[in-house]
Amino acid sequence: MNYQTFSLQPFPSHKSLPNLKIAGNISRNDNQFAIRYMLEGDLKEIAIALPSNTLSRKHELWKDTCFEFFLGIKNSQQYWEFNLSPTGHWNVYRLDGYRQGIQEETAFENLPFNVQNQADSLALALNVDLDKIIFVEQPIEVAITTVIKDRYGEVTYWALTHQGTEADFHLRDSFIVEL
């Protein structure tokens, strides 16, 4: 099993940043992939929609508070974007290369994950079998990211590393976790 912890950093901005900490852990055991995010701080300042009774695949989740990760096969341009909303909505996209050929990944019909929302923390955990998209022997590279929208509508972008002059989670140089 390959297990690592992480801590996300906001993209540098001249705007005031919310007083938050985003950390977690990620692991891969054969093709069982697990990621857990822990958002801590003054959550009253964050726009977090209430959980939905009808969990479904939705587009444009990144326009609101959304936990994301990008998974690529080492030495390949192809990668996947996973979007997980605290509401329980989700989506997975497959891309042929940097922002190229984006399409919904139909290998996943559902993506169940757990959300625990408390006054000063929010935890989100996903366990998924990657057999539908990659072979167990293929090494993967992962970028871990989060979009935070505050209650005033301002958006901040959090990641393990920010490689560009603008916040851009798709830059392959940002896929720095190897599993």
Break the chain into its structural domains and give their ranges. 2-11+18-178
The CATH code that applies to domain 2-11+18-178 is 2.60.40.1190
- List 24's β-bridge partners, or say none: 6, 37
pLDDT at 118: 87
pLDDT tens-digit profile of 121-167?
A: 999 999 999 999 999 999 999 999 999 999 999 999 999 999 989 99
For the chain, give percent helix, strand, coil, nearest 5: 5, 50, 45
pTM of this structure: 0.95
Distance CA 33, CA 157 (A): 23
Q: SS3 for 132?
A: helix
Nearest C-alpha neighbor of 48 from the set 18, 85, 16? 85
